[in-house]
Amino acid sequence: MNIFRKMVTFVRNLSIRDPDGWVDRGQMGDAGETVNVDTALALSAVWACVNLLAGTISSLPLMVYREAKDGSKTVAKDHALYRLLHDAPNFDQTAVDFWDFMCSAIELWGNAYARVIRAAGRIVALIAIRPDIMSVRRLQNGSLEYRWTQDGKSYVATDEEILHIRGSGGDALGGVSTLHVARNSFSMARAADRAAAGMFRNGLRPSGVLTFADWLTAPQREIAEKKLAEKFVGAVNAGRPLVLEGGTKWEQLTINPEEAQMLETRGFSVEEICRFFAVPPFMIGHTAKSTSWGTGLEQQTLGFLQFTLRRRLKRIEQALMRQLLTPDDRARGISIEFNFEGLLRADSQGRARFYQTMTQIGAMTINEVRRLENMPPVDGGDVPRMQMQNVPITEAGNDALPPPNEDDAA
Predicted confidence (pLDDT) per residue in 80-112, tens digit: 999 999 999 999 999 999 999 999 999 999 999
CA dist., res. 142 & res. 33, Å (int): 39
What pairs with residue 146 in β-bridges? 136, 157
For 227, counting Cβ atoms within 10 Å of its Cβ (0-12 exposed, 13-18 middle, 19+ buried), the class is exposed
Q: Which residue has the higher pLDDT, 122 or 393?
A: 122
pLDDT at 164 over 70: yes
Q: Which helix (H) or strand (E) holds 114?
A: strand 111-119
pLDDT score recorded for residue 1: 45
pLDDT at 53 over 60: yes
- Taking alpha carbons only, the member of 170, 189, 175, 164 closest to residue 275 is 189
Query: CB of 277 within 8 A of CB of 51?
Result: no
Q: Which helix (H) or strand (E) holds 407?
A: helix 406-409
Phi, psi of 134 (to 5 degrees): -105, 140
CA dist., res. 98 & res. 88, Å (int): 8
Mean pLDDT of the 66-71 span: 83
pLDDT at 223 over 60: yes
Task: Summarize pLDDT for 244-288 with one digit per residue, the tens.
Answer: 666 666 666 555 554 545 556 666 778 888 888 888 888 877 666
**Banded model confidence at residue 51, pLDDT cuts 50, 70, 90:** very high
Average pLDDT, the chain: 77
CA dist., res. 242 & res. 248, Å (int): 11
**Banded model confidence at residue 370, pLDDT cuts 50, 70, 90:** confident
**Banded model confidence at residue 17, pLDDT cuts 50, 70, 90:** very low
pLDDT at 354 over 90: no
Mean pLDDT of the 155-182 span: 90
Query: For the CA atoms of the chain, what is the radius of gyration?
Result: 31
Q: Is the pTM of this model over 0.75?
A: no
**Which three-class secondary structure state does DSSP give residue 332?**
coil
pLDDT score recorded for residue 304: 80
CA dist., res. 320 & res. 19, Å (int): 30
pLDDT score recorded for residue 6: 45
Task: Summarize pLDDT for 134-153 with one digit per residue, the tens.
Answer: 999 999 998 999 999 988 89
Q: Which residue has the higher pLDDT, 313 or 202?
A: 313
